[in-house]
Amino acid sequence: MKKTGAEIFVESLKQEGVDVLFGIPGGVVLKIFDVLHQQKDVEVILTRHEQGAAHMAEGYAKATGKAGVCLVTSGPGMTNIVTGLADAFMDSVPLVAFTGQVSTNLIGNDAFQEADNVGISRPCTKHNVLVKDVNDLARTIKEAFYIATTGRPGPVLVDIPKDVSTDKAEFKYPDKVSLRGYNPTIEGNKHQIKQAAEEIMKAKKPVIYVGGGALFSDAADELLEMAELTQIPVTMTLMGLGSFPGTHPLSMGMLGMHGSYWSNMAMHHADLLIAVGARFDDRVTGKLSEFSPVARVVHIDIDPTSIKKNVHAHIPIVGDVRSVLKQLNVLLRSLDGNANERKQQLKPWLGQIEEWKRGHPFKYEQDDKVIKPQYVLEKLFEITKNEGIVATDVGQHQMWAAQYFKGKKPRTFITSGGLGTMGFGFPAALGAQRAYPDKLVMCITSEGSFQMNLQELATAAVYKLPVKIVMLNNGFHGMVRQWQDLFYEGRYASSDLGKIPDFIKLGEAYGIPGWRAEKPAEVESVIREGLKYKGPAILDFQIYPFENCYPMIPAGGPHHEMVLEDPPDLRSGAKKKPIEEKEGELPA
Amino acid sequence: MEHIISVLVENKFGVLARVAGLFSARGYNIESLSVAPTLDPETSLITIVTVGDDRIVEQIIKQLNKVVEVLKVIDLTEASHLDRETALIKINTNTKPEHRDEAVRICDIFRAKIVDSSPTTYTLEITGDTDKVEALINLLRPLGIKELVRTGRIAIAREAAKVTTRHNSQQPKA
């Protein structure tokens, strides 16, 4: 029996095991939504903005490792997900985005709500396709999921014209995909892996530098085994957080612009870098010409274009991180005659790192009058016992969350790294919560980022997604203000947001309760009250607005020249508005 | 350094835009570009001439390989190869009558062909490597070139020449 394109679409999603999609209907996708409405296997989460749908799908994908799915209409529906596509592309998130398109006979006519969906999304997707014939629909969907989730994951867009969703065809879901031009390398080259193992055993000052690739390939166990086997300290990129236990003695935490002093010093002095699923982003490397000046580089990545793009790799290994680490561990075990001897060999290096760590730990000055953001996060980490999932927005709070909220397990720290998308955190948290309804999901955000997608409060309320919105509210685009303090003589050009809106009242309008803390003494009780509440909740922490995030490598600076605290003129408060002035504007 | 890169792609809608977009998005140069179907009507061959140091060219080749519809990428510069381009040159023979004879003489020397003639113009066709085409253009310039069209270069590896294929370019050399 023949099925309509819309029915084929829904059947194909079922075949892919999709249980939820995020989206908003519109003229050309009404047929698809109509079919979705008449079945129960694929739930539709109606978001309030298409950008929210895309980020929710990302949050779902980052938390589960499965492809996230969104479905939006043509024209503005599609252009509204572009930020989500670009974000997913930068952070290698498996995302399948379905967009409606005007009927095939109207394409190119500047029809109502027509946009060149494939053209617009081409530079920010791993692959995209316009389906021109209903007979190609099932195969195209199969290929889209395959491409999105294999190799280096990424977003795939499938554009479905209205007549394709109403036309009929025989439905047969293909068993397998055959794409002549797509064949990611999984197994690493044996010879290269052997060379890497030899270098690793010889190194006196090695560092394992881990990126998001270790998470996508589920290589946490292999990574832990390698680090313990070789006693090599591990540092993670923002995207790699969670791949190695933050509390492990060999963990150096995050590196890069706001990473730990000791990890950056270790990177600078290392004689061997073992880059695992990382891409040497500029926020990580700082000044390229002074980056790890003496280190030899082993670079393991599934994407050949990541290798030797920014930094020369002496031993490049193209392959799936997990598969390569497995092979590498076998060799390391056979080469490692004596673990104790190995420990002795690396003792001076680990001692040196410990010294850097003792000298310049993460620190802030506690205050009994104003709430310090780091204190809120420390308390939250302590009270939640590192359980649950954290999704962050972008800015100072994101960096503090990375520093103070040491994600223990893979896929529990969800953040927008590459694109740095403010407004990502809240919808991503909702997506993660939909994936794990019983887990504690927290969105660590600030008022600047949150306001970029706050309309999704309605989605949280309607679908009863009990995300805890932890807002570090400083009334500023905080990171912008920090840079203005440091590099623009304290002129706060367009970074002062004021104390508007009153987020507790805003929440009330959506039936979402909120708690506010204005003094350090109130922090703990607000956290406890908020966490105790069964539904979504807003925790509004009125933090000290002038706190800056340290340590910091000024953009384009080298690793060993980290700025550790406010320079003296800032510390003296000469450039700062007095805190009382801001307090007067606080909502009642 | 100049590289001639041969890209075998699936003959599908939007593939050229994807390949060209990859160059523009990453700031790589395209010196010349030519596209046409191969023996197999389902595939097309794109020949791109680009300029860049080794690191950039390595990136270009890897990025091209990543495109789903790209089947094979060959950097012909690494192997012994032939390359050709064709130009159609319309010259003005109106100002001095002796220019018509001169044009025919130059044409003979270069083994170019006169493919169209009017009382005031000749149109010449030349096929050859870039040096030859450039040399002809330079000689014709004083006569007055009214219009010039070039195909961009196409290239082919000499038989038995060892070339980098998609398969081994994915495994970068140490």
Give A122-157 as a DSSP string: GGGSSEEEE--SGGGHHHHHHHHHHHHHSSS--EEE
The confidence score (pLDDT) of residue B96 equals 81
- In this prediction, residue B163 has a pLDDT band, given cuts at 50, 70 and 90, of very low
> A with B: how many residue pairs have Cβ under 8 Å apart?
56
**A501 cis-preceded (ω within 30 degrees of 0):** yes
Asked if pLDDT for residue B78 goes beyond 60, the answer is yes
Instruction: Determine contact, residues A165/A34, Cβ cutoff 8 Å.
Output: no
Find which of A145, A182, A193, A315 to mutate to test the B interface (most B CBs within 10 Å of its CB): A182
Residue of A nearest to B60 (CA): A305
Quote the tokens at residue A567.
Answer: 């320079």
Cross-strand bridge partners of residue B34: B47
- CA count, 13 A, side-chain hemisphere, A233: 30
pLDDT digit string (tens) for A532-577?
999 999 999 999 999 999 999 998 899 999 999 998 878 765 555 5
Amino acid at A441: V
Quote the tokens at residue A293.
Answer: 């000046």
* Beta carbons within 8 Å of A218's beta carbon, 6+ residues apart: A65, A322, A410
The confidence score (pLDDT) of residue A458 equals 98
| Rounded CA separation A276/A297 (Å) | 11
List of chain A residues whose C-beta atoms are within 8 Å of the C-beta of residue B14: 118-119, 122, 130
Q: Which of residues 37-56 of B touch A (CB under 8 A)?
A: 55
The confidence score (pLDDT) of residue B93 equals 87
Task: Name the residue facing A307 among B14, B68, B172 (closest C-beta).
Answer: B172
Give this complex's ipTM.
0.89
> If residue B61 lies in a helix (H) or strand (E), which one and from where to where?
helix B54-66
> If residue B99 lies in a helix (H) or strand (E), which one and from where to where?
helix B98-109
Task: Name the residue facing A304 among B21, B55, B170 (closest C-beta).
Answer: B170
Cβ contact B25–A318 (<8 Å)? no
| Rounded CA separation B132/A186 (Å) | 47
pLDDT digit string (tens) for A124-162?
999 999 999 999 999 999 999 999 999 999 999 999 999
Reduced to 3 states, what is the DSSP secondary structure of residue A15?
helix
Residue of A nearest to B65 (CA): A181
Quote the tokens at residue A468.
Answer: 């805890």
Asked if pLDDT for residue B141 goes beyond 80, the answer is yes
| Rounded CA separation A307/A299 (Å) | 7
Instruction: Determine contact, residues A325/A276, Cβ cutoff 8 Å.
Output: yes
| Rounded CA separation A414/A392 (Å) | 6
Q: What are phi and psi of B37, to 5 degrees?
A: -65, 155
Nearest CA-CA distance, residue B97 and chain A, Å: 51
pTM: 0.94
Q: Kindly state whether B119 is in contact with chain A, defined as any CB-CB distance less than 8 angstroms.
A: no
Cβ contact B62–A304 (<8 Å)? yes
Give per-10-residue mean pLDDT for chain A (588 aa).
Answer: 96 98 98 98 98 98 98 98 98 98 97 97 97 98 98 98 98 95 95 96 95 97 95 96 95 96 97 97 92 96 95 96 97 77 89 96 94 96 93 98 88 97 98 98 98 98 98 97 93 94 98 98 98 97 96 91 88 54 42
The confidence score (pLDDT) of residue A582 equals 43
Q: Which residues of A are catalytic?
A: 50, 112-113, 162, 479
| Rounded CA separation A414/A433 (Å) | 12
Task: Name the residue facing A180 among B65, B71, B172 (closest C-beta).
Answer: B71
Neighbour tally for A393: CB within 10 Å: 30
Find which of B22, B58, B62 to mutate to test the A interface (most A CBs within 10 Å of its CB): B62
| Rounded CA separation A427/A450 (Å) | 10
The confidence score (pLDDT) of residue B172 equals 41
Residue of A nearest to B171 (CA): A318
Residue closest to A438 by CA, chosen among A467, A412, A409: A467
Nearest CA-CA distance, residue A237 and chain B, Å: 23
